[in-house]
Amino acid sequence: MSKLYNDYEIAAKNIIEQVGKTIVIAIPLAIGKPIGFINALYQLACDDNSIQLTIITGLTLSRPTFSHDLEKRLAEPILKRILKNYEDPLYEKAREQQNLPSNISIIEFYLSPGKYLNNSMVQQDYISSNYTLVKRDLLNYSVNVIAQQMAKSSTQPDLYSLSSNTDLFKDIAHDLRTQYPERKIAIIAEVNNNLPFMVGDAEINSQTFTHIIDTHSYPALFALPHHDISAEDHAIGLYTSTLIKDGSCLQIGIGSISNAIANALVMREKENTTYSELMSSLLVQEKFGETVATLGSLKPFDEGLCASTEMLSDAYLHLYKEGILRKRVYDHAGIQRLLNAKKITESISPTLLDILIEENIIHSQLTFSDVMMLKKYGIFKSDISFQSNNLLTSTGVSIPANLNSSEAKHQIILHCLGEKLISGKIIYAAFFLGTVDLYQQLHDLTPTELNEINMTTIQRTNTLCWSHELSILQRQHARFVNSTMMATMGGFVVSDGLKDLQEVSGVGGQFDFIEMAQKLKNARSIINCRSTRVTLEGVQSNIVLEYPYSTSPRHLRDIIVTEYGIADCRSKTDSEIIKVLLNITDSRFQNTLLNKIKKLGKISPDYQIPDIFQKNYPDILQSKIQEFQKKGYLKRYPLGCDLTDIELTLQSALLYIKQCSGIKLLKLVILSFLYFKNVKSYHLYLSRMNLETPDNLKEWFYKKLITYTIYLQTR
């Protein structure tokens, strides 16, 4: 029987009494963290250093801090609108400042990208792990407490939903109870009904928990802002969209590139003429026609797509609402095999029973198990019951359950058959994270729509071992799309760490999906990579000769996509890989790379990059994208925007200032001082930044800089 609490501190004290003062607590990544409980536990450990507290988690989310006053002035009101009364984890501020108490440690398997570079405390307590191995690694730390935020059913008092994080909780809870029966443990639910109540595998009974905390005061969920999509990211999204075959199972990540992919897929489906014009502008057929014809298409979808992903993001809900994600898959190998072979459809016809008998899926003399299966998938109506080898209808009609009898079969077809298959799923996901809009859309799903999304375990989404047979049948032509920081000429992918061992983010599920793409027939891994990055030393290529660190080894090389196109590296020789990667490299770096490779003897001394691939320049690409943006396509925020028009202009101005350096920055500053036009027309911008009436010299300088930069942006 679960113990119930309405106070976090009382619950934390009780759990310490139960399991002892050495606590190793596992909490979910992202928004499933039980912030109220973990803050109470953290505060008790701060006040009593005899408590040894280890928190194991991933992706801690907290309000960002800003080093520049102008950024802070713009961003803080926006964040206040988005985050509302979200409660930051108390440990995070101390960790950022590297002053955690000596009796408290935080171990993470996935870091907020780029946040902890040169933070030695975080870097030392990072554990590198594939998502599918996280459970093993957690249990090896002698976890004795697990806790998670959950939603509570409004109609069934003992029913809860794992909601945002079905990924690991059930498996860890099960293993703690069965593998370590001698260990004093606590399994805790913290109720937050701001979480959408997700169904299917996410549903969990109250008996699972030792403690349930419900204060009836629910903080807001951590929400991400909508992503601004650059011209380069739109191009990556467009190229990637050409590789998605009709009927595919899709996995994409989160961020601006994922949103760009979703936007491109909707264009392909609903604005195909314009989409085709875009592809012509990008010379897709001339450059990559054979690859696209083999792996994907430029045509609208017939079957549509399904999804199996570790993370459910805004991009998926956009594709679902737009009808691109519409292909249902079924957890019955026989039915799914028949659907794949086009021997049956989702519409139920009288011949279906004959096909099921021929395929040895049911018996001609129906059994109880046969009837239960037929009802589960809607082949029989839900009100049919089985008794003494007869089928009973809700109206009292009794029919022999014998399909060998023509009369009985006729009556079964007349009274028992349903109209359409049910229990199919369109999306499988293990956790969700996104914008306020995403959470609201999940809340607003109808019961039918909710049942088409199954929040499930990471073992299901990221592996084949849950069911190798169903994995093959459901993930037809799977496309696993992920992003990377760099790719090498040898086919290595560098996604999570740097050469000096600084961890940027984490492996997460990327390696799982890359590996799975090699094992599933007709599946492909697609790695998105921006071709360049801007550093203090200037523009650098992300396609590099070599790098002393990798997330994925060269033998798992597959497809790499930059804003300049597609490189299919699978089953290629080293020289062939080098050629296709050079084709999608920024042209400012192509010849330097080529000459280095020639010196290494990995390519013919007389090889030259084809002329058609030597125009990979950002200004050329941007002009092509902007041509379509002027017509209303490829918007900066196609999935929604959190900013007002005033804030969008200010955002562009601050980005322009940030990109200036050296002589260009000095020139901007000087011209700002010399700009004396009437500033009344800038009243709304200055008011939003609280700079209309400067209080000091610094604010006066900011006012001049903002005013002139907006003038440059809007003239």
The 10 Å CB-count burial string (b at 16+, else e) for 264-281 is bbbbbbeeeebbbebbee
Asked if the model's pLDDT at residue 712 lies above 90, the reply is no
* Nearest residue to 164 (alpha-carbon basis) of 305, 11, 61, 81: 61
Average pLDDT over residues 397-418: 95
DSSP line for 16-70: HHHH-SEEEEE--SGGG--HHHHHHHHHHHHH-TTSEEEEEES--------SSHH
| Amino acid sitting at position 471 | S
What pLDDT, on a 0 to 100 scale, did the predictor assign at position 1? Answer: 76
Residue 606 has pLDDT above 90, yes or no: yes
∠ CA 110-111-115, rounded to 5°: 170
Tell how far CA 660 is from the center of its chain.
Answer: 32
Q: How do residues 613-659 score in pLDDT, each as one tens digit?
A: 999 999 999 999 999 999 999 999 999 999 999 999 999 999 888 88
pLDDT value, residue 401: 96
Task: Give the pLDDT score at 194.
Answer: 97
- Per-residue pLDDT, averaged over 482-496, amounts to 96
Which residues have a Cβ under 8 Å from the Cβ of 413 and sit 6 or more positions away? 350, 353
Name the residue among 524, 611, 476, 494 with its Cα closest to residue 291.
524
Res. 40 pLDDT band, cuts 50 70 90 = very high
Residue 347 has pLDDT above 90, yes or no: yes
pLDDT given for residue 72 in this prediction: 94
Return the pLDDT at 29. 96
Are 455 and 163 in contact by the 8 Å Cβ rule? The answer is yes
DSSP label of 11:
H
User: Mean pLDDT throughout 572-594?
Assistant: 97
Report whether 625 contacts 267 (CB < 8 A): no
**Residue 397: is it exposed, middle or buried by C-beta count within 10 angstroms (0-12/13-18/19+)?**
middle
pLDDT tops 90 at residue 438: yes
Q: If you ran DSSP here, which 8-state letter would residue 177 be given?
A: H
Beta strand ranges found along 143-284 (DSSP E): 145-152, 159-161, 186-191, 203-205, 211-213, 249-251
Per-residue pLDDT at 685:
92
What per-residue confidence (pLDDT) applies to 91? Answer: 97
Backbone torsion region of residue 138, taken as left when φ is above 0, otherwise alpha when ψ lies between -120 and 50, otherwise beta: alpha
pLDDT value for 139: 92
Cβ(433)–Cβ(225) below 8 Å = no
Q: DSSP for 90-130?
A: HHHHHHHTT---TTEEEEESSPPTTTTTT-HHHHHTB---B
DSSP-based three-state secondary structure for 469: helix
Q: Tens digits of per-residue pLDDT, 445-486?
A: 999 999 999 999 999 999 999 999 999 999 999 999 999 999
Please give the C-alpha separations between residue 45 and each of 53, 106, 520, in angstroms, as whole numbers: 7, 13, 48
The tokens for 247 are 């009927």
H/E segment holding residue 541: strand 538-541
* Among 423, 328, 327, CA closest to 379: 423
- Nearest C-alpha neighbor of 709 from the set 638, 635, 658: 658
- Residue 660 has a pLDDT of 84
Residue 672: pLDDT band by 50, 70, 90 thresholds? confident
Helix axes 231-241, 256-270, angle to 10 degrees: 50
Contact between 338 and 344 (Cβ < 8 Å): yes
User: Residue 713: which pLDDT band, with cuts at 50, 70 and 90?
Assistant: confident
User: Please, what's the b/e burial string for 337-352 (b: 16 or more CB within 10 A of its CB; e: otherwise)?
Assistant: bbbeeeebeeebeeeb
Rounded to the nearest integer, the mean pLDDT of the chain is 95
pLDDT-based confidence at 439, cuts 50/70/90?
A: very high
Binning pLDDT at 50, 70 and 90, where does residue 537 land?
Answer: confident
Mean pLDDT score, 492-510: 95
Closest by alpha carbon to 552, among 491, 473, 604, 501? 491
Least Cα distance to 298 among 325, 321, 269, 318 occurs for 269
| CB contact set of 564 (below 8 Å; sequence gap of 6+) | 235, 531, 583, 584, 585, 586, 613, 616, 621
Residues 154-202: tens digit of each pLDDT: 999 999 999 999 999 999 999 999 999 999 999 999 999 999 999 999 9
Six token digits for residue 562: 């930059």
What is the rounded average pLDDT of the residues 198-216? 96
pLDDT value, residue 130: 94
- Mean pLDDT, rounded, for 2-12: 96
Here the tokens at position 269 are: 């489906």
- Across 366-375, b (16+ Cβ under 10 Å) vs e yields beeebbebbb
pLDDT at 664: 80
The stretch 135-151 carries a mean pLDDT of 95
Tokens at 490, concatenated: 């040898």
Residue 669 clears pLDDT 90, i.e. is over it: no
Residue 115: both structure tokens together: 């946040």
- Backbone dihedral angles phi then psi of residue 543, each to the nearest 5 degrees: -95, 110
Between CA 423 and CA 448 the distance in angstroms is 10
**Helix ranges (DSSP H) in 416-508:** 436-444, 447-450, 458-462, 468-474
461: Cβ–Cβ under 8 A, 6 or more apart, which residues?
A: 308, 309, 310, 428, 429, 430, 509
Res. 679: pLDDT tops 80: no
Amino acid in position 310: E
pLDDT in the model for residue 120: 96
pLDDT at 662 over 80: no
Question: In terms of Cα–Cα distance, which of 113, 234, 226, 114 is closest to 562?
Answer: 234
Long-range contacts of 383-389 (CB under 8 A, 24+ apart): 384/416, 389/365
Give the tokens for residue 88.
């930051």
Q: Going by C-beta distance under 8 Å and a sequence separation of 6 or more, which residues neighbour residue 38?
A: 25, 27, 55, 89, 90, 91, 147
User: What is the pLDDT at residue 673?
Assistant: 81
pLDDT, residue 189, reads 98
Both tokens assigned to 482: 């992920």
Say if residue 674's pLDDT is above 90: no
